[in-house]
Amino acid sequence: MFVNVFTSSPAPCHVSRISESAVRRLSLYLRSLQEAHDAGVVTLSSDELARRGGTTSAQVRKDLSLFGSFGKRGLGYSVEELRAELRDILGLSQPWRVALVGAGKIGAALFSYEDFRRKGFIIRSVYDADPAKVGSCWGDLTVRSDGELEDGLRADRTDLVIVAVPAAAAQRVLERVACAGVRGVLNFAPVRLRAPEWMTVRSVDMSVELEALSYALSQQDRQRMAG
Amino acid sequence: MFVNVFTSSPAPCHVSRISESAVRRLSLYLRSLQEAHDAGVVTLSSDELARRGGTTSAQVRKDLSLFGSFGKRGLGYSVEELRAELRDILGLSQPWRVALVGAGKIGAALFSYEDFRRKGFIIRSVYDADPAKVGSCWGDLTVRSDGELEDGLRADRTDLVIVAVPAAAAQRVLERVACAGVRGVLNFAPVRLRAPEWMTVRSVDMSVELEALSYALSQQDRQRMAG
DNA sequence: ACATGTGAACTGCTTCACAGCG
DNA sequence: CGCTGTGAAGCAGTTCACATGT
């Protein structure tokens, strides 16, 4: 029985392909629900969810309908119920075993990023290539040597790896992570990584975001000059 | 004369609206060009650019054609020339004056992120609300008090602000930054910010990316169970 | 009466395919 | 001949509008 994963979704389980943007929005809805929950709100309409998530009510309903019907007509969505549903859909109902590769500034920031732990992404090991860093203590973990990477990842049954190494080292790390059979990678290095089919790699590219911002600003300047 | 901004683009200057994804790809092409340049490559075809940027040759040509015709038929694109062109389009031909708000772990990581400086985003001031941090030295800067924010931003003629404060404080910071007349914000706090029309806000949401990864992984698990 | 869920219309991005030019 | 630049076709994501259910 595979239905118990989608507990109360009698609808499309074999969903062929959900767009990346839809998944990102689900994540934002979940955040809104968490906030509403903390504020003691019991019910939310698609309209309200849209306002908080920066989208439209039709979009909210479409997104949710991809996975089932969670609302009550004339009423809205139960915060508690939809929250559980989204956590389940996003795979957050049980914790993930995470390893961090790269114990530099970015690694340090991510290591102590509370939001990750709260969402169930538990960092269980830290690796670095710099001998000066190996052996130092991060929380209750000891920074391990780069050389132990493959064995360590396997031994810890690591689900996903956060890559926070310099751009030049990232592809090599990805390949070794792939060797260890880890299926998911969150990459912070500013390079496009080449990975095997069965892996999922997602990159957070801060430079690209900043450049997009730069584009928007200079575009404004140009229009000001023209008009 | 507004044409000197688009030096050698006789084509569409009044470009109504370029998609966000197109701009992100331009940024990736520029990165590939920089790498090619460093490797001594003189010419690149759309096919090659596509391979390096993780897209298709048709997409590359379409993206570039939105701004002009930079290639030579039968040959490809001059690395040097296209690089200059893209830098110009993305607004990277002159440095931006940046302020960093939030001197925590994430702020520290961003402050020493070499990629930013290299692209011409020069951090000229750092602010924090914590009195314990105010006055400490970061590189050749002194961390300034939160209270000086509006005046400081104005005095430094700040172009854009990087927000690296806790989620609960971010909206307030944004409003104060808006008061100081700064037009661009790169936000790292996990909240959706509400900003005035004339501002451009772009968020780097690490939690959302991780959750999208989580979704992809559990989706794989489900399919494995089903198949 | 009110808000969901959803087919249908629409918009806009991506891919195709080929004319045009070095 | 090779590769660009681009209209046209195809496809995907978003919005509309209303039937449906409480």
pLDDT exceeds 60 at position A4: no
- Closest chain A residue by Cα to residue B34: A191
Confidence of residue B7 (pLDDT cuts 50, 70, 90): very low
Q: Give me the mean pLDDT over the B65-75 stretch.
A: 98
Quick: pLDDT tens for B19-28: 999 999 999 9
* Nearest CB to A113 within list B53, B206, B219: B206
Read off the pLDDT of each residue in B40-61 and give the average, rounded to a whole number: 98
Nearest chain A residue to B159, by CA: A217
- Say how far apart CA A3 and CA A160 lie, in whole Å: 25
pLDDT digits (tens, 9 = 90+) for A134-166: 999 999 999 999 999 999 999 999 999 999 999
pLDDT of residue B223: 82
Q: What pLDDT, on a 0 to 100 scale, did the predictor assign at position B200?
A: 97
Chain C positions with any atom < 7 A from a protein CB: 1-7, 12-17, 20-22
Reply yes or no on whether the pLDDT at A55 is more than 70. yes
Are residues A188 and A164 in contact, defined by beta-carbon separation less than 8 angstroms?
yes
A133 is written with which tokens?
A: 């860093």
CA nearest to A113, candidates B77, B106, B155, B84 = B106
Instruction: Round and report the angstrom distance from CA (B226) to C1' (D19).
Output: 34
Q: What is the pLDDT of residue A226?
A: 78
Q: Which nucleotides of D are covered by protein (CB under 7 A)?
A: 1-7, 12-17, 20-22
Per cent of chain B over pLDDT 90 is 89
Q: What is the DSSP letter of B197?
A: T
Distance A196 CA to D1 C1' (A): 35
**Mean pLDDT across the stretch B29-57?**
98
Indicate if the pLDDT at residue B130 is higher than 90.
Answer: yes
Q: Which of B214, B221, B222 to mutate to test the interface with A (most CBs of A within 10 A)?
A: B214
Q: What is the DSSP string of B149-209?
A: HHHHHHHTT--EEEE-S-HHHHHHHHHHHHHTT--EEEE-SSSPPP--TT-EEEE--HHHH
User: Which of A14, A213, A226 lies at the smallest CB-CB distance from B186?
Assistant: A213
Q: Is the pLDDT of residue B96 over 90?
A: yes
The DSSP call for residue B193 is P
> Rounded to the nearest 10 degrees, what angle do helices A20-38 and A46-53 cross at?
100
Q: Are strands A184-187 and A160-163 parallel, antiparallel or unpaired?
A: parallel
pLDDT classification of B16: cutoffs 50, 70, 90: low
Q: Which pLDDT belongs to residue A8?
A: 36
Whether B2 has a pLDDT exceeding 70, the answer reads no
Strand C interface, protein residues by Cβ within 7 Å: A 45-47, 57-58, 61-62, 64-65, 69-77; B 17, 19, 21-22, 55-56, 58-59, 61-62, 72-75
CA A116, A117, A120 angle in degrees (round to 5)?
95
Q: Does the pLDDT value for residue B15 go beyond 50?
A: yes
Residue A198's pLDDT band (cuts 50, 70, 90): very high
pLDDT at residue A13 is higher than 80: no
Nearest to A27 among B184, B211, B225 (CB): B211
pLDDT at B9 over 60: no
pLDDT at residue A110 tops 90: yes
User: If we measure between CA atoms, which residue out of B216, B55, B215 comes closest to residue A198?
Assistant: B216
**Percent of the residues in chain A that have a pLDDT greater than 70, as a whole number:** 93
Please give the single-letter amino acid code of residue A210: L
B200 and A220 within 8 Å at the Cβ level: the answer is yes
Average pLDDT over residues A100-115: 98
Instruction: Give the C-alpha separation, B22 to B40, whole Å.
Output: 27
Q: From the list B6, B23, B191, which residue is nearest A212 (CB)?
A: B23
In this model, does residue A11 exceed pLDDT 50?
Answer: no
Q: Has residue B11 got a pLDDT over 60? A: no
Distances in Å between the Cα of A99 and the Cα atoms of A154, A161, A177 are 11, 5, 10
Q: How close does chain A come to B221, measured CA to CA in Å? A: 10
Mean pLDDT of B49-77: 98
**Quick one: average pLDDT of A187-207?**
97
pLDDT at residue B6 tops 90: no
**CA distance readout (Å), B15 to A65, B4, B12, B184, B222:** 36, 16, 5, 20, 45
* Mean pLDDT score across all residues of chain A: 93
Q: Is the pLDDT of residue A48 over 80?
A: yes
pTM listed for this prediction:
0.93
Residues 6+ positions from B108 with CB-CB distance below 8 Å: A105, A108, A109, B138
pLDDT above 90: residue B5: no
Q: What is the pLDDT of residue B225?
A: 79
pLDDT at B189 over 70: yes
Kindly state the average pLDDT of the residues B123-129. 98
pLDDT at A153: 98
Residue B104: list chain A partners with CB under 8 A: 109
